[in-house]
Structure 1
Amino acid sequence: MKSDTKPIEAPAQSDPDSFETHRTRYETLVQEKNWEEARPHIVRALAIRPEFAPAHNQLGIYCFHENDLGQAETCFKKAIQLDFGLIEAHFNLGSLFQSMGRMQEALPHFKEVVTANPEDWETYNRMGMCCIALKAKENAEAFFSESLRLRPDFLDPLVSLTALYMEQGRLPEAGALLKEGLKAHPGIPQLHFTLGLVLKTQEQFEDALGEFREVVLRDGDNAEAFNYLGECCVALGMEEQAEPFFAQAAKMDPEMSPAVFNLGKLYHDQKRWDEAIVTLEEWLRQETGEIVFAEHAPEDDGVHGLVYDMLGTCYAQKGDYDRARELWEHALSLNLDQTEILEKLEWLPQPLLRPVSLTIDD
């Protein structure tokens, strides 16, 4: 919320109940953020001069702080009705509408603000946020870009514009923007994390590794960053270095299924069958609620089938062919077009038939 108060000195020996006295008093109290004591002076000033738009704006701010949003809207609209050029009231009414999710109504008031003050970087950012909510992404990009041009170190539009670029697959632009942002905000984990994601998606794993390392150095509780560190290590052929990262991520957040999956797959690939079984079955518990597999097969997403396949291999290597067969058959129930699993099933020893007695009981 923006106030239009300017410090003024009360005239000597002024009337204690005059408009100027109450105005001077409430402006002083507003600057001190003492809204409770300011309110009666605002009300009294309006009783004396109901046409004074700035006081309606101030009363609107008070109502907003009190969460009386309906009355705040009335006050801001009254201020604008009395003085359409009162830019603070336009900003406040726009901000109120934005907070209430009424983005379409907010935009015209923000437009009045930037028309009067083209250097208002904060309002351009708010306009961008409104456009994002309205799915007007081209306009949002323009507003965020202008906000960032006016205030290059303003973090909010940088983050929003980066998210927009990433959503549109414009990864080089997102990366360049984040690198510029880190010059103004060195060491912010959020920026390093997002840049790491951008670089990882572009398969620039070594650079991504450096960004995720910066994240965990500054935010040691970021389980996602530890998991991504592991994924980058695997992509670079550094499986031994990946294991502690996956393990740390899974330890910090036991419900973080990507880290549990990655750790189980790593154990499988390293032929550590017992550890792979424990870890992959834990992943299935998290995903399906069952110890081994769900009663009703989920839609095949490629991951569940892979887990059943890996578990089948683990049990086959341990000599538990019945369990291996069960798991591989379950993988096939998700996707019949898996030639490799069919070949594995053919490779398995056939179950022994129960001998049939030819003796006739008396």
Structure 2
Amino acid sequence: MSSRPCLTWTGCLCGSKHMLLCILVTTQEQSIPSGMDVYGYLLAREGRLEDVENLGCRLFNISDQHAEPWVVSGCHSFYSKRYSRALYLGAKAIQLNSNSVQALLLKGAALRNMGRVQEAIIHFREAIRLAPCRLDCYEGLIECYLASNSIREAMVMANNVYKTLGANAQTLTLLATVCLEDPVTQEKAKTLLDKALNQRPDYIKAVVKKAELLSREQKYEDGIALLRNALANQSDCVLHRILGDFLVAVNEYQEAMDQYSIALR
């Protein structure tokens, strides 16, 4: 697995038909294209679980002796909230390839969501060792620290990532996420998120966190404007759901229902 940041894979979704065609062709060649586990994760994160299931089946038809099909199926289970199943599939993938970063991330996330945080931390640390430039490895570890109320450790890690990988929308948002957990650093979180959104107005994680902050401040109109802007050139189920919540807060019930319907598609 490449140690490049996961961000480099986000463009795969834009060419999903081409990617799936590639899989069809490769099935005949009996080999698994590199990065299919990351692609499956991205599809799952977008809520495209039917596509993930189909991808997993196609990869298993090629070979069940590689980590990728197990990871893809595990992502389907994880985003279907079947964490025990995701844990099993992640563990199977690691048995086949102990250096599979995506398998470690899957198993770590499943362990975290099952409340086994200390075990999850071990897996995220191993993922960081194997892929020190991948932001999602650090995100997983920081989420574990936050889940165990270890705010100080999370802050130290987020600051280190910020210094190591540079000030970009992703690292700014990660640091802001930790700052949001401490009442003392709320203003810093706001500044960081504004910087992140200035760099990338469509960065979904930054939009979600800024919306969270605006919701706390009951600035619903500002939140609606933020979300509409982010959704102008993309569709994301999470953003549509949050927009629905904001619309309910200002008594725009019909449009809120429309947004919830879009989120469920």
* TM-score bracket for this pair, using the shorter chain length: 0.5 to 0.7
TM-aligned CA deviation for residue 178 of structure 1: 1.6
Change (3 A) 1:136 1:263: closer
Identity %: 11
| 151, 170, 173: which one aligns with 1:239 | 151
RMSD across aligned C-alpha pairs, in angstroms? Answer: 4.2
| 1:277 paired residue number | 187
Residue type of the alignment partner of 2:213: V
Q: C-alpha separation between the residues in 1 aligned to 2:23 and 2:60?
A: 19
Distance 1:282 1:183, change over 3 A: same
Deviations 1:203-239 (A, max 9, x none): 4322221211111122222222223212211211212
Mapped to 1, the partners of 2:77 and 2:188 lie a distance apart of 40
Q: Is the contact between residue 144 and residue 161 of structure 1 (CA under 8 Å) also seen in structure 2?
A: no
Distance 2:218 2:72 in 1: 46
What residue number does 1:101 align with? 21
| 1:168-201 deviation line (CA, Å, top 9, x unaligned) | 4443222212212212322332321222223334
Partner residue in 1 for 2:213: 307
Which of 166, 187, 197 is equivalent to 2:99?
187
Structure 2 contact 177–209 (Cα < 8 Å) conserved: no
Structure 1 residues 213 and 174: alpha-carbon distance in aligned structure 2, compared to 1, 3 A threshold: same
Instruction: Give 1:206's aligned residue.
Output: 118
Aligned mates of 1:221, 1:102 — CA distance in 2 = 27
Give the number of the structure with larger relative contact order, counting CA–CA contacts within 8 Å between residues 6 or more apart. 2
Q: In the superposition, relative to structure 1, how do residues 184 and 278 fare at CA in structure 2: closer, same or farther (>3 Å)?
A: same
Q: How do residues 1-362 of structure 1 correspond to structure 2 at under 5 angstroms?
A: 101=21, 110=28, 122=30, 141-145=56-60, 147-148=62-63, 151-152=64-65, 154-251=66-163, 252-254=165-167, 255-256=169-170, 257-266=172-181, 268-269=182-183, 271=184, 273=185, 276-287=186-197, 303-308=209-214, 328=217, 330=219, 334=223, 335=246, 337=249
Gaps of 5+ in 2: 1-17, 44-49, 202-206, 224-245, 251-265
Provide TM-score, normalisation by structure 1: 0.41
Corresponding residue SS for 1:187: coil
> Which structure shows the bigger proportion of residues in helix conformation?
2
Comparing 197-206 with 176-185, greater Cα deviation is found at 197-206
* Contact 2:67/2:94 (8 A) holds in 1: no
Task: Give the Cα–Cα distance (whole angstroms) in 2 for the partners of residues 289 and 216 of structure 1.
Answer: 26
Q: In the TM superposition, what whole-angstrom CA distance separates every residue of 1:98-139 from its partner, at most 9, and x where no partner exists?
A: 9893888x69x95xx9xxxxxxxx37x69xx9xx99x67766
Say whether the 8 Å CA contact 1:223–1:253 is kept in structure 2.
Answer: no
CA contact (8 A) 1:196 1:207 kept: yes
**8 Å contact from structure 1 (residues 227, 249) kept in 2:** no
Which one-letter code corresponds to 1:265 in the other structure? Answer: L
**TM-aligned CA distance change 1:248 to 1:136, over 3 Å:** closer
Q: How many Å separate the matches in 2 of 1:139 and 1:278?
A: 43
Residues matched between the structures, number:
189
